[in-house]
Every structure is written in C-alpha cells, then in structure tokens.
A and B are shown apart, each in its own frame.
Chain A
Amino acid sequence: MRYLTARKRAEGNGASHTGTAHHWSMTLSSVALAFLVPTWVYIVGHALGQDYEAVRATFARPFTSILTALVLVIGMRHFAMGATMMIEDYAQGTARKIAIMFVISLSTVIAATGLYALVRIAL
C-alpha cells in the first residue's frame, strides 16, 4: 500500500516547481499597480521640478506618502519577480543565480531608500 497519494507525488514536479504561485503573485501586484500608478505618476510628475520646500510638502502629505510607499513596495516586488523571470529565460547556472541576487538586492535597496526618505520627510 502506498501512503503517498498521486497528488502528493506530482506536486512540485512541473517546470516551475511552484505551480502557478509566481503567475498569481504577478497578477495580484499588477492589478494593485493598475490602481495606484496613474495617481502616483500625476502627483510625482507635478512635484518634479518644484523647489525643495514644495517637494517636501508634497511628500509630507499622508496620501502622497502612503501612496508612494505602496507603489515602492508593490512595484519593486513586481520588478524583482519580472526581472527574475527574464533572467531565467536568458541565463543559466551561476550567472543566473548572481543576476537574480542582483535584481532582488537592487529592488530591495531602492524600496528601503524610498521608505527611509518618506519617513524622514514625514517626521
């Protein structure tokens, strides 16, 4: 008698090893960004080119600050996963691993820098 079910033995054996988790995560973040990005582009586009006090005043507002934080966190995750997918298509072995580490690190540093700036302006 086999104790492992057919489903258990099949799980994780597809090409991605994680089923549709990556695709679903990209779908979720893309829908979120579809709602967030137009307003964010409008606000940041307006702030761009203004003087120091005006820029700080824009990002000190709760709405702008929270919106920017959401765009950074969700956007950088969306970028990291999309860039990972591209690297997996065109590189393999050690080059693939290093490139994936690089894009994940880069997107994390960008998100952390942006969040630090938002907190510092808000305080």
Chain B
Amino acid sequence: MAENKRVVERPLSPFMIGPYYRVQLTSVTSILTRITGNGLIVGVMLAVWWLFAAAVSLAYFAVANRVATSWFGDLVFTCSAWAVWYHYLSGLRHLYFDAGHGLEIATAEKLGWGIIAGSFILTALTILIV
C-alpha cells in the first residue's frame, strides 16, 4: 500500500512583497488590513473576558477590570481602536474596489493615504470622545 501513496507537492502562492515586488502603498495597505483584522482578536478576547467577569461576580470583575484598565489594557484597547478603524476604512475601500471603482493607480494611492490618515483621525476622536 505504501508504494501506491503518491505525495503531491502543491506550491503555496509566494509572499510577493519584498522578493518579487517593491514595497508600495497599495500592497502595504492591503497587508495591514489582514494584520489589523486578525490582530483585533486580542482586543476582543480582553473585552469579552472583562464582560464575562462582570457577569460572574464583583470579585472576578475587580480582577478583570484591573487588567483592562492597566497600562497593558490601555495599550491593547488603544491599538485595537486604531486597528478597528483601519480595518473599517479599508473594508469600505474593499467594497468600493469590489464594485469596480477606484482601481486607477492614482485613485488607489489616494484611497490608501485616505485610509491611513482616516484611521488615525478616527482613533484620536475615539480616545477624545470615549
């Protein structure tokens, strides 16, 4: 049986940024969408743990709240605020691209800078208002 087993070596798509393509705004804003989207799980885990503790008991909430409002919690939630707004704006751009708009290089680059600037503005507003 063992000799009948055929090992199929299928290639993975190579990571393009760096070895094959120079770093450019469109590729960096794209990979950042993936990084922020996946990274947000850290903030979600901390927020859900904090909510779970609030549901369980006063003593447990005190523990979770101390972590959530510590420098570590502040760091996670500040990064999460930027990540959520970056991912939000680039998600809107994704929908716009999907509809077939904004794909000319000049427009795509403008949208890229717009996302970067917008994410920082919205993060600042979030910190100010919240």
Q: Is A4 an interface residue (CB 8 A)?
A: no
Q: Is B58 an interface residue (CB 8 A)?
A: yes
Number of interface residues of B (CB under 8 A): 38
Q: What 0/1 readout, one digit per residue, does chain A (30-54) give for beta carbons within 8 Å of chain B?
A: 1101100110011011101100100
- B123 nearest CB across to chain A (Å): 11
Q: What 0/1 readout, one digit per residue, does chain A (59-73) give for beta carbons within 8 Å of chain B?
A: 100000000100010
- B99 nearest CB across to chain A (Å): 10
Please judge, given known A-B contacts A52-B54, A56-B54, whether A34 and B88 are in contact too, CB under 8 Å: yes
Tell which of A34, A72, A79, A114 touches B40, judged by Cβ atoms closer than 8 Å.
Answer: A79
Chain A residues 1-49 with CB under 8 Å of chain B are 27, 30-31, 33-34, 37-38, 41-42, 44-46, 48-49
- B44 nearest CB across to chain A (Å): 6
Q: Which residues of B contact A82 (CB under 8 A)?
A: 34, 37-38
- A59 nearest CB across to chain B (Å): 7
Give bound CA distance, A41 to B129, whole Å: 11
Q: Name A's B-contacting residues (CB within 8 A).
A: 27, 30-31, 33-34, 37-38, 41-42, 44-46, 48-49, 52, 55-56, 59, 68, 72, 75-76, 79, 82-83, 86, 89-92, 106-107, 110, 113-114, 116-118, 120-121
Given contacts A27-B95, A42-B130, A92-B12, 12 further A-B contacts (CB under 8 A): A30-B95, A34-B92, A37-B84, A52-B54, A55-B61, A59-B55, A82-B34, A86-B34, A86-B38, A110-B48, A113-B52, A114-B51
